[in-house]
Chain A
């Protein structure tokens, strides 16, 4: 009885190991395929691949990072920030993700400073009207 239990649990363990290693392999292939697509400027294809990886492995920091880069390229800055933050949350010590996010923040701050200037101007005008 005990032997049967051991054999069953061992086979379940081995099967799950094979399954997870296969899905990890699949995700890795999808990530690489996405990178190749991005290098050829096929960003929609790259986004599709990396989203697929996230649907299989929601905690894959590389896929989140790559998706953030793709969103930046597409001008979807809010989505890019969400993905960068998710990637950093999953892998806070990754220097590459940190570097990407810092550069992204710098660019956004430059954009915001001009927008803030406009906002201040608009507020001043409103005050003058009152």
Chain B
């Protein structure tokens, strides 16, 4: 009898303890903000200047394309006064030299230069590709053929420079590649594909973005 009572008590205690120790939880998906790499709120104007061309590109003026593209995109997304200005540098070291940039802008308001260097290259690559035939009775079900692809690479070094101090406040190197099955793809077409990738990454750095994350909320 005593044994039976102790078993019942132990079972009761076990049930109570396990029910108490169980943690109820809710899995929640939420967007967690990522802070921008650089805070441009105090900068009133942005001056987009010429980009240093590390390699000259045939057929189109890449510098002008970059100037036009970024001046309109920055204006649209940052809602700041974005102007283009004709400043050219001779080599990469000039970007890091504050004296190059210090006294160019006479305005008192805080502003930033948007500048950098560009390298755009085109390559034609040949590759051997296997293709399956549809006919089952074919003694050679696979055939190989040489495919020609055009390969484009855009390397863009972007600097944001404080107009008052001449110091670099942001710099990042973007390297984007893309290959096209069409061997006659124009460099202009590929350029706009590649610069779109750069723009998205750059705006993430300047504006910040939300990342979707999962966390547990406890309901105990």
Contacts and interface: CB of A to CB of B under 8 A. Distances in A.
B37 A96 contact: no
Interface string A94-128: 10110110010001000100100010010001001
B194 to A, nearest CB: 23
B171 interface: yes
A65 B37 contact: no
B33 A75 contact: yes
Interface in A18-69: 28, 31-32, 34-35, 38-39, 61-62, 65-66, 69
B57 interface: no
B4 interface: no
Contact of B219 (A62, A72, A94, A111): A62
A16 to B, nearest CB: 19
Interface stretch (B127-135, B182-190, B209-217): B209-217
B139 to A, nearest CB: 55
Interface string B34-46: 1101000000000
B30 interface: yes
A82 interface: no
A39 B26 contact: yes
Given A107-B213, A114-B37, A118-B37, A38 B28 contact: yes
Nearest to A104: B215
Chain A interface size, under 10 / 10 to 19 / 20 to 34 / 35 or more: 20 to 34
A96 B25 contact: yes
Contacts of B23: 62, 94, 96
B26 A35 contact: yes
B218 A66 contact: yes
Main secondary structure of the interface of A (DSSP, over half): helix
A89 B143 CA distance: 65
Contact of A107 (B32, B96, B220): B32
A62 B218 contact: yes
A28 B220 contact: yes
A31 B24 CA distance: 11
Nearest to B171: A121
A96 B219 contact: no
Q: Which 8 A-B pairs have the closest CB atoms?
A: A62-B218, A96-B216, A75-B33, A62-B220, A69-B215, A35-B217, A66-B217, A100-B215
Given A39-B26, A99-B216, 17 more contacts: A31-B218, A31-B220, A34-B217, A35-B219, A62-B23, A62-B218, A62-B219, A65-B216, A66-B218, A69-B30, A75-B33, A96-B216, A103-B213, A107-B211, A111-B35, A121-B171, A125-B96
Interface of B: 23, 25-26, 28, 30-35, 37, 96, 167-168, 171, 211, 213-220
